[in-house]
Structure 1
Amino acid sequence: MENFHEEVQAPVSPHGQYFNSSVICSYVFDFLEFAVPIDYDSQAITLIRDIFLPINPRFSSIRVRDKYGKMRWQKVEVKPEEHIKIPIFPDTTSSELYDQDLDDYVSRILTERTPQNKPLWEIHIIKYPTKNAAGTLIFKLHHALGDGYSLMSALLSCLQRADDPSLPLSFPSRTPQHAKESLFKKLPSDISSFFSSISDFGSSLIKTKIIEDDITPIRSGYEGTESQPSNLSSITLSLDTIKDIKSKLGVTINDVVCGVIFYGIRLYMQEIDNKAKTANSTAVVMLNTRNLAGYQSLEEMQKPEAKGLWGNQISFLHIAIPKLYQSTISNPLDFVWHSSKLIKRKRRSFSVYLMGMLLDLEMKLRGPEIAAKTIYNTIGNASILVSNIVGPMEELALANYPISGLYFAVTGGPENVSITVMSYVKMLTITMRTLKGFIDEQKLKYCMEKAIEVIFKEAMEISERTSQN
């Protein structure tokens, strides 16, 4: 048991209570793959004490109830060695890889809860080589500490550029597409968005409270799957390939990625059960609701004028997954165009903020457990959960150990398929957390790889036909 300081600090945010309740216990896992073998025991303790803990008070705090019954963060004494986990895998020949051992270990820690009487994070150091890395480091961070945006910024503050540690990291800039429009061009869009927002909010509310997706090869309909074992698999795509598709089709990178995911999901559903091609399936996309045009560094997030950027500032967007033989979907590229059109309209909608207001109202009137149940139903009534984070454009290093791969995963929800997307240097990793024993992760991985292959081929061919005409 750790020693308590008397100081009771900031209140736990509503989302911090939703994601650490009897209904949902959610974690963000950040995976660092190293290009060289790692021997990091003593350095890890120094890193935690000198760099990681000072990032944010929540990393050295636990949740307690004050005398008024409100949840607050309370500072405690942190013993770094109690948060470091170094597994020992069975002995084998030195030349053998440990992919299966790592997969089994990750599957186990995905569902394990961290003790509530200690700060809600762990670091797992895997010293064994796999086909992708000479060693792996896993940050396990409770969602109550912050959302993916906050937690990833915290992790990146512990890393340096591999080429020159004195230089800052850089990230792809994103400018809202409507930012440069004139008032006269924006006005009709704003008026139409008002009515579409009301429609979107109504449909999201019905989806959350009443209507469930069909039972399909990607949605079992079983209760309590959030506590069942999961598998983790991933595919890595070239960002140049994604950008080529983007430029040929006149869409965004996110549109291409969503199109690939939706097409891959439908291919998988049809592979398992041909009847599933007509099933009603929905994706819940997690959105960062910060009013930002691009990524903000940790230093920028913690400036006094940027108060409030840390924490959980997310909402959920319902996107219907197009059907393979839908009348409006005639070829794989339509998955990208359809996704582009739908996401653009819904992003202009303020229904995501209305859903946030609804959660706040439920929190005030009925308490965090009921609000957590609303989030649980929002995810559980849909088929897949999708989340993405923009990563750095330069190669990173941790204490001079070069990092060859960087990706993340999210746990704690009732979905049977959770998909996370992260860019790193010139690559983009799509990570799939799938319900063990229900989802064939290898077949799903194959369908995702086939989806990007087919969409790229079609995009290049349509470009050639256009140039010939």
Structure 2
Amino acid sequence: MDHEDLSRSLPPLSPLSQYINSSTLSVPIIMVIELDSPIEKSKMIEFLRDVFVPINDRFSSIIVTDKKGVQRWKKVEITIEDHIFFPTFPSSGQTLEDYDALLDTYVSKVAMETTSEGGRRPPWEVHAFTYPTSNAKGTIVFKLSHAIGDGYSLMSALFNIYKRADDPSLPVTMPSVVPRPIGGGGSSRWSRIRSFVSMCVNTVTDSALSLLQATLLEDDKTVIRSGKVGVEFEPISISSVTFTLDQIRQVQDKVGGTTVNEVMTGVISYAIQLYIQRTGKVSNGATRMTALVVVNARMLRGFKTIADMLKAHIWGNHFSLLHVALPSTSSDQDLNNVDPLEFIIKAKDELRRKRNSMALYFTSRIWNIISSLKGPEVAAGYVHAIFKNTSISISSLIGPSQKIVIADHPINSFYYTVAGIPQSLIFTIVSYMGKLKVVVRTEREFIDAQVFVSCLKDALEKISDAADDHGKDGKVEFH
């Protein structure tokens, strides 16, 4: 087949999908599903073949590159058995804690391995850990190339194939939340003008910051950022902590008007400061630390609810990045004398200022301009540099409100993370059945994951205690 026939017959990957599926930046998504019942191998294979693969052609397609360097999807025949793995471990003399450790090691190993065998099969695989752990009677680990789609693409797929555990005939529902619109301003003419001017200023400054962060501007090396070249290839640890949405709502009710993501960004900011203090490696001066907050760009298309967005089947990668400055702590500052709620307020102000900006649009436009002028590999290097030069990333997903079933296996909990990102510390957050699971992916030999998780727990506890002294009302919202 010549180049012209190839172009006509095979759909191309989106520009963003090509950037994160390149020799410079290759990002897999890891989704871990903890089950309430032991895994039945035959049911899992049947589910993947008859339910999962038919969701979208990308699950039965490989990625090929044409003569112009454009990556395209090519549909192929697949064998399900080539995509599912059943690891074996000693089955006698092992405690649940032993299997916890084995699973953690296995998931970290799977995350760091190359997805697919040289492009000879579609870039996804499933690992069925059939041994009981402290949290599950069996665990399913999905590993998918980010080129297939972002978290909301996958959630959209699962949203349509999951069944409710209480009544399979009823639809799975999401929390009743409304996305916060970008922009704002009052109803008066002067308020609208002021809001427009503010948005223009923010757009220029935020777009310039994105350019600088990929070229000249780099965060300081700290106890959460090694700055090591090739850090994305270093061994990782994956830990998690679970909060209830009621805990988050208590903070919202007292602080007033904050979203769940604003609260969690504040909690993470505070936890970082606690971790810095506990390691004893506090800077003598102000330290530059920046978080990349992953924003679902579908929210900019007028959807009124998360469920509407999921039902629209907008596949692919539709996200952008907000550069959020994290508070710094100097050696002469005592965290015991700092009001923990300041971290929530600063996160709220910073995120809302960033949302009142068109930089979300222009950032992706800049990436595409670079790609059109110099090729997708150069654009991938630009995106890689943005991650490399910042300290952390934070992304979040909203999961179902009810308990759900996959392949007739009830799901106790699930979470996700990513690999291949050149950062020492990455946070992913997902809600499910009234709980919020925060996953901490760390550079194993650099960050003490156990200490950091304890800092996260302490951060929310201290913030909750401080919130008891405030009496403003708020409501739960997701951006």
TM-score (norm 2): 0.90
> 2:153 — aligned with what?
150
Shift of the alpha carbon at 1:107? 1.3
- The alignment covers a number of residue pairs equal to 452
Distance change >3 Å, CA 67–CA 24, structure 1 → 2 = closer
> 1:372 — aligned with what?
380
2:34–2:140 contact (8 Å) kept in structure 1: yes
> 2:316 — aligned with what?
311
The 2-side partners of 1:299 and 1:440 are apart by 37
What is the correspondence of 1:218-257 to structure 2 with a 5 Å cutoff? 218-250=224-256, 251-257=258-264
1:153–1:297 contact (8 Å) kept in structure 2: no
The one-letter code sitting in structure 2 at the alignment partner of 1:146 is: G
The 2-side partners of 1:442 and 1:180 are apart by 43
2:152–2:310 contact (8 Å) kept in structure 1: no
The 1-side partners of 2:464 and 2:415 are apart by 23
Percent of aligned pairs with the same residue?
39
> 1:174 — aligned with what?
178
> 2:72 — aligned with what?
72
What is the correspondence of 1:378-397 to structure 2 with a 5 Å cutoff? 378-397=386-405
SS at 1:447's partner residue? helix
> 2:477 — aligned with what?
none
The one-letter code sitting in structure 2 at the alignment partner of 1:73 is: W
Does 2:306 match 1:301?
no
1:269–1:276 contact (8 Å) kept in structure 2: no
What is the correspondence of 1:62-461 to structure 2 with a 5 Å cutoff? 62-66=62-66, 69-93=69-93, 95-97=95-97, 98-114=99-115, 115=117, 116-172=119-175, 173-176=177-180, 182=187, 184=189, 185-250=191-256, 251-276=258-283, 278-290=286-298, 291=301, 292-296=303-307, 300-302=311-313, 309-324=314-329, 330-461=338-469
1:131-175 Cα shifts (integer Å, max 9, x gaps): 111211111111011111112222333311111111111112214
Q: What are structure 2's unaligned runs of at least 5 residues? A: 1-5, 473-479
Single out whichever of 257-266 and 66-75 deviates more from structure 2.
66-75
The one-letter code sitting in structure 1 at the alignment partner of 2:29 is: V
Shift of the alpha carbon at 1:44? 1.7
2:162–2:172 contact (8 Å) kept in structure 1: no
The 1-side partners of 2:281 and 2:353 are apart by 31
2:240–2:438 contact (8 Å) kept in structure 1: yes
SS at 2:323's partner residue? strand
Single out whichever of 165-174 and 244-253 deviates more from structure 2.
165-174
SS at 1:10's partner residue? coil
The 1-side partners of 2:426 and 2:69 are apart by 34
Distance change >3 Å, CA 183–CA 391, structure 1 → 2 = farther
TM-score (norm 1): 0.91
1:264–1:450 contact (8 Å) kept in structure 2: yes
1:33–1:406 contact (8 Å) kept in structure 2: yes
1:194-227 Cα shifts (integer Å, max 9, x gaps): 1121011112211221111111101111111111
The 1-side partners of 2:202 and 2:244 are apart by 35
The 2-side partners of 1:299 and 1:423 are apart by 15
The 1-side partners of 2:84 and 2:357 are apart by 43
SS at 2:268's partner residue? helix
Shift of the alpha carbon at 1:298? 8.0
